[in-house]
Amino acid sequence: MLYYCKNHQADFVPDKIKKELEQYKFVFNPSFVLFKKIQYWAFRCYSELHKEILAVIYIYDENSSSLTIHNLNPIFKEQYGIKPADPKLLRIEDKVYCTLNTGYSAKTQNSVFLIQITGNLDIKRCNIEKRSMVEKNWAFFEQNGKLKMLYSISPVCKIYTLSSVNQDEMFFEEERQVKNNLGSLSIGTQPVLNNNTIYLMAHRKYSFLKKRLYLGVPVTIDLNTLDVKASSVSLVHSLMSMFGSTFRFNKNLISCTYISGLQMNFADQKAKITYGINDVSWQAMQVNLNDLW
């Protein structure tokens, strides 16, 4: 069943951030954390000046109305000689983090990073022993005082645990894995943990003549058993958006409703969700939890 996100739009982005975003021709795939009167936002923004897609973090303090901006591209170019991609935000206890990857690499392995953005930026490259040439969208969470990482959802649900940390890197080792028959679901948002259950948005990919279409899928994972449940609901911005946009950064993309941000309030049974539309625009919405999960 298709769930049209356009019908549930909500506006909870600070005006100061929206004003800053006006300078970019294309803005998409927003991620956010709302915590203690501070709003943390991450966007992918296409800069006409630099002719590249930027990973930009905005930190808005509701108390002082101050706005701090981190353009991660020059930081990563100077320190690592690479471009950051797919920034997503998450909170672990009282600290907020951004995870991102360095995109596609034809000759060498790309990298996944976890960056503490509360206070000074603390950047750590994340490593596992056996990995693919290109890795994207690892999902981080804390359980019983240990930092863990959801590596994949299906057809194998696989969890890693932090094993060691040094000044520049974090090393994770495989904890366990369980196979399932849910087809191919990829990680979308960072996870929300409640009562030993992970809630997140995944993406299901459909292919036609080597071109791809992505829809959002609500997912839960029982951390006791690694049993994965995928909703029968598929999220799409609108029926028209499924035909794609005239302009495409990725010529192999038919269309995508890319769910990139999720925050849940279990007391009120509400969820705030942000998503990108065909890699050219974005939207925010609020929904009832039982409509999707």
Side by side, the strands of the sheet bearing 38-47 are 26-35, 38-47, 52-61, 66-71
User: Does the pLDDT at position 241 exceed 90?
Assistant: yes
| CA pseudo-torsion sign 178, 171, 258, 35 | positive
Query: Is residue 230 predicted with pLDDT exceeding 90?
Result: yes
In order, the DSSP letters of 111-180 are -EEEEE-SSS-EEEEEE-SS--SS----EEEEETTEEEEEEE-SSEEEEEEEEEE-SSEEEEEEEEEEE-
Q: What is the pLDDT of residue 201?
A: 98
Q: If pLDDT is split at 50, 70 and 90, which confidence band does 208 have?
A: confident
| Whether the predicted pLDDT of 127 surpasses 90 | yes
- For 163-185, write each residue's pLDDT tens digit: 999 999 999 999 999 999 999 89
Mean pLDDT calculated for residue range 202-227: 94
Q: pLDDT exceeding 70 applies to what percent of the chain? A: 100
State yes or no: pLDDT of 10 exceeds 90.
yes
For residue 233, the model assigns a pLDDT of 95
**Given a cut of 80, is residue 45 above it in pLDDT?**
yes
What fold is seen in the domain 2-292?
A: Tachylectin-2; Chain A (2.115.10)
pLDDT at position 209: 84
Higher-confidence position of 9 and 131: 9
pLDDT score, position 249: 86
Q: What is the DSSP string of the chain?
A: -EEEGGGGB---S-HHHHHHHTT-SEEEEEEEEEETTEEEEEEEEEETTTTEEEEEEEEEETTTTEEEEEEHHHHHHHHHSS--EEEEEEEETTEEEEEEE----SSS---EEEEE-SSS-EEEEEE-SS--SS----EEEEETTEEEEEEE-SSEEEEEEEEEE-SSEEEEEEEEEEE--S--EEE-SPPEEETTEEEEEEEEEEEETTEEEEEEEEEEEETTTTEEEE-S-EEES-TGGGG--SS-SSTTEEEEEEEEEEEEETTTTEEEEEEEETTTEEEEEEEEHHHH-
pLDDT at 85: 95
pLDDT at position 101 = 95
Residues 221-238 have a mean pLDDT of: 96
d(CA 260, CA 102): 17
249 against 152, higher pLDDT: 152
Mean pLDDT of the chain: 94
Mean pLDDT confidence for 182-197:
95
User: What pLDDT was estimated at residue 105?
Assistant: 75
**258-293 residue pLDDT tens:** 999 999 999 999 999 999 999 999 999 999 999 999
Q: Is the pLDDT of residue 106 over 80?
A: no
How is the chain split into domains, by residue range? Answer: 2-292
Question: For residue 8, which of 293, 292, 267 has the smallest C-alpha distance?
Answer: 292
Per-residue pLDDT tens over the stretch 80-99: 999 999 999 999 999 999 99
pLDDT greater than 80 at residue 21 = yes
According to the model, what pLDDT value does residue 83 have? 93
pTM: 0.94
